[in-house]
Structure 1
Amino acid sequence: MSGAATPVAADTLRDALARAYNDNPTITGSRAQQRATDENVPIAKANGRPSINANGSLNENLIRGGNSFTTPQRNGQAQLALNVPIFQGGAVKNAVRAAETRVEAGQAGLRGTEASLFTEVVGAYNDVIRDEAIVGLNTQNVRVLDTNLTASRDRFQVGDLTRTDVAQSEARLSLARAQLQTAQANLIASRENYIRLVGAAPGVLEAPPVLPNLPASPDTAVDVAIRNNPQLLAAQRARDATAFDVRVARASRLPTVGVGVGQNYQNFFGSLGAGQSTGGSGVPQSGTSTSVGLNLTLPIFQGGRPAAQIRQAQALRAQAIENTTLAERQVVSSTRSAFAIWRSSLEVIKSSETAVSANRLSLEGVRAENSVGNRTILDILNAEQELLNSQVTLVTARRDAYVAGFALLAAMGEAEARDLGLDGGPLYDPAVNYDAVKNRIMDYGTGDAPQPIAPSTVSVPAQTSVVTRPLDPMLNSAVDRNAPLTTGENSPNR
């Protein structure tokens, strides 16, 4: 699922999300962690399965007493033992259930990782669009103020303006250039953050699609989030797993029963009875034996260890219960906050669109009035700044509304790969690995050697602040900026 060595820039939000879904190291690392969690189930099951062990020894007695029957010179032994656990106080059963429940928690957590990553990508995508617009607006503003300064100097030469008017124009142009530098730096930072998340440089990004299924009220959103939020589900499953941990700890005080079957072989290599007066030639030098037994272990006193383990498991369960309440509070808070920001940003968009239109008309009027001497250069500069501010507010509100809307869907559990219809191949299913490993019993079955999935971004060129995206017509100020020069005849006395 790794991407190509030379990534191709994503032009749509869906492309960006698909690339991050396949290649982002946060999510690929989380998938590897989940695969490790899956292995806890066969590990827990192994404690309740039969085991076979073989061992052998060869001893050479360098110093012996007089009786070679009790201390032969050489002694070799080999043993093959089969142990079958029958009863372990419920420890294995509950350990398996705890591991299975934590697998469910991990799978829910993986869904949460997807949603969090996608929210970051949506934010980074819209940050680039916003900052490109702000750079375009500031570039437009610098160009306009530069034209204003040129006109002011020309009018100063014919006596239509004073030196103060020119100084005001120069100061405002210098400030606009500083603002442009800041906007360009912010754009570069946004593009680099996009590369960190997506793994490729942003191209000319298209406007993001309309978000579907947004709720009508915060209560509706919270109801859905309580049922579907993956982080809350993960906390609930982790809480449930601790109940089995307590049962495992209690099992340490109960007896265990097992059946043992052993096959033994022993060889003295002709050294048993050697040198005795009766002669050792007729003494058997090797032999085998088979044993079957029932093993019972009844704990009587363990120094307080079981009680401490039970108290520890109960305390961890108490922590998990509180963590679930914490997760629920966080879900409620984030859902309501995202809803409020989303609805507020929609209102800001409406107000800003009105403000942009009004400020554009105001600027036209101020320029027209200045041409007949009823407005000063400072009035024009202020009108220019007010228009710019309203335009920046508009693009920022558009970004905030979209990101908050997506964050709201993520809190409701409806912003994951399965909800977004991502292209680029089949979706990752953590259940596939779990089903493949949960019942494995072979000691020598191993997985594939780990290989990097997420590509490096070292080869991606450093980003610049060059903007090729055209300004939204709503933001483009088609105003006659070049006021005609006058002789000063109609200007107020300065």
Structure 2
Amino acid sequence: MASRRFSPFLISTALAAGLALGSGPLAAETLTDALITAYQTSPLLEANRAALRNLDENVPQARANRRPQVGASISGQTGTTVEELDFGVAGIEASLTATLLLFDNGQTAAAVEAARNQVASGRADLKDVEQLVLFNAVQAYVDVRRDEEFVRLAVNDVDRLDETLSATQNRFDVGEVTRTDVSQSEARLAESRSQLAAARGQLEISREAYRAAVGVAPGNLERLPKLPDLPATLEEATAIGVQRNPQVVAAQFNERAAVYNFDRALAAKGPTISVGGSVGVERLRQNPQLDYDGSTFGQASISANLPLYTGGRNDSLVRQAQAVLDQRRFLVQDVARQVTQQVAAAWAQLQVAQASIVARRQQAEASRIAAEGVAEEARLGARSTLEVLDAVQENLQAEAQIVQALRDEYVASYALMRAMGLLTVEHLRLGIESYNPDVYFSKVQSGPRGGYDTSAVDRIRQRWER
């Protein structure tokens, strides 16, 4: 963090390390590699894809109401008396029935459209989760790179102070400085070692956060690529966010689904017309000594229904649907406000980070010149050892704050992309095939028989049956 303190070390080394946040070994793991791995291995994404497939099934279920319903049945009966315990079959009947809803005042059509809009909302929710997964990967990557730099700063600080202590001890042995100077160097070296331990601990925490976000432990992370292209103004960024942010899109489709559910509730107060038919065979016998008498039968029917009074249920359903619709309309407005705030906050964080980088670099340059001057004055006897240590420490802190500001700039840039709804596999051009929800939807929307996989259910069941 920006407030983190480091002890002094060689100024030239600090300048190189601080300004080169992205410097790393060749042939290392890139940010693109991390994003691809996170996208392809995220259990959170898989869970939400399964949730979307669950929503997909609502469409064929809603459409099924206007399709033929066919069933078969078979039954048998027996008769006996207390005097004659004969359990032989006295009769068998088998039949095939079919019904078809011809008219339901638009209930099924509204239900199908509501389900389709819920699917569209679910797809937007999945896109929002995709953005979350990718953003977490970016943040984890940058945090590891930052903390690696902090560790390098701390290691060089310890080395620098160890050399300073040796030099101060030698000067004390020849009487050039006092015991106080030696103790000050010892104290600063102990503090620097403590800061090194803290920096290493924070690096391990960031590495574990990377493992959680990406799915694998970080290797040698390559330098960061250039910042993504962003809009020139806050107004442009806000306009994109209000239009493309998945949260806004999901809220809009939820509102449309509520409109169709309201239509469905109104339609339930109207008439329905259906036709039906059945064919079957019947075999009967009067007593065990006689053969079965057989007959076949068939019938057709048409029926119409108009609810006249339902105890207030249908009216209540209409009012309930109206309340849900009002809720969804207000939620669209609320989500738009939230997205506007998210865009503005990310924009402000980006501006602060960029301004901080400029200021910190100026501070680092000024503190470097000051540290060199204090060191030269100390050689002439005009400055104390403590003043030299403090001057170099101020310079080192400025360099460390540059590293933090560069990290903040990068994270804020991707936070702005996320708020605009652009932090996606397609927009980032990761070069991989993204999940296509149309594949499963097209497979099930016509309601094919079967098409399910019970292997996962069987494995879970076996886990509990052991």
TM-score grouping bracket, smaller chain normalisation: 0.7 to 0.9
Aligned-residue offset at 1:205: 1.3
- Equivalent residue number for residue 433 of structure 1: 440
- Equivalence map 1:409-424=2 (5 Å): 409-423=417-431
For the 8 Å contact 1:88–1:254, the answer to whether it is kept is yes
Contact 1:85 1:259 in 2 (8 A): yes
- The equivalent of 1:150 in structure 2 is 166
Q: 1:158-177: CA deviations, max 9, x gaps?
A: 22222222222222222222
* Residues 229-275 of structure 1, C-alpha deviations (whole Å, 9 max, x = no match): 1221111111111111112222332222110010122111x226x89
How far apart are 1:293 and its partner, in Å?
0.1
Q: 2:97 touches 2:277 (CA, 8 Å); kept in 1?
A: yes
Q: What fraction of aligned residue pairs are identical, expressed as a percent? A: 36
Distance, in Å, in 1 between the alignment partners of 2:222 and 2:413 is 18
CA–CA separation in structure 1 for the residues paired with 2:126 and 2:140: 21
Map of 1:3 onto structure 2: none
Question: Contact conserved, 1:46 with 1:441, CA < 8 A, in 2?
Answer: no
Q: Which residue of 303, 319, 322 corresponds with 1:314?
A: 322
**Residues 236 and 324 of structure 1 are in contact (CA less than 8 Å); yes or no, is this contact kept in structure 2?**
yes
Are 1:22 and 1:28, in contact at CA under 8 Å, matched by a contact in 2?
Answer: no
Asked if 1 retains the 8 angstrom alpha-carbon contact of 2:28 and 2:222, the reply is: no
Pick from 62, 69, 78: which aligns with 1:60? 78
Give the aligned partner of residue 221 of structure 1.
237
Q: For residue 479 of structure 1, what is the aligned residue in structure 2? A: none
2:152 match: 136
Q: Counterpart of 2:92 in 1: which secondary structure?
A: strand
Unaligned stretches of 5+ residues in structure 1? 1-8, 66-71, 452-494
Structure 2 residue 345 is the aligned partner of structure 1 residue 326: no
* Misfit runs of 4+, over 3 Å: 447-451
Matches within 5 A, 1:6-405: 11-63=29-81, 74-268=90-284, 270-271=285-286, 285-405=293-413
Equivalent residue letter for 2:443? A
Aligned length: 428
Paired position in structure 1 for 2:20: none
Q: Encode CA deviations 1:347-379: one digit per residue, 9 max, x unaligned.
A: 111111222222222222211111111111111
Match of 2:18 in 1: none
Compare 121-130 and 25-34 and name the one that shifted more.
Answer: 25-34
The answer for the alignment partner of 1:481 in structure 2 is none
Distance 1:213 1:448, change over 3 A: farther
Largest Rg, 1 or 2: 1
Instruction: Write the deviation string for residues 137-161 of structure 1: whole angstroms up to 9, x where unpaired.
Output: 1111122122222222222222222
- The alpha carbon displacement at 1:450 in A equals 4.4
CA distance, structure 1, for counterparts of residue 33 and residue 421 of structure 2 = 21
Mapped partners of 1:369, 1:245: distance in 2: 82
- Classify the secondary structure of the residue corresponding to 1:288: strand
Deviations 1:77-110 (A, max 9, x none): 2221010111122221111001111111111222
Q: Matched residue of 2:145: which SS? A: helix
Distance in 2 of aligned mates of 1:404 and 1:449 = 43
Write the distance in 2 (CA, Å) between the matches of 1:265 and 1:370: 114
Deviation larger for 49-58 or 428-437: 428-437
Give the aligned residue type for 2:255: R
Say which SS state the counterpart of residue 47 (structure 1) adopts: helix
Output one character per residue of 1:180-211: Cα deviation in whole Å (capped at 9) or x when no partner: 11111111111111111111221221122113
| TM-score, L = length of structure 1 | 0.82
TM-superposed CA distance for 1:448, in Å, is 7.1
**Does the CA-based 8 Å contact 1:60-1:73 persist in structure 2?**
yes
The 10-residue stretch of structure 1 (169-178 or 133-142) with the greater mean CA deviation from structure 2: 169-178
Q: How far is the alpha carbon of 1:62 from its aligned partner? A: 2.7
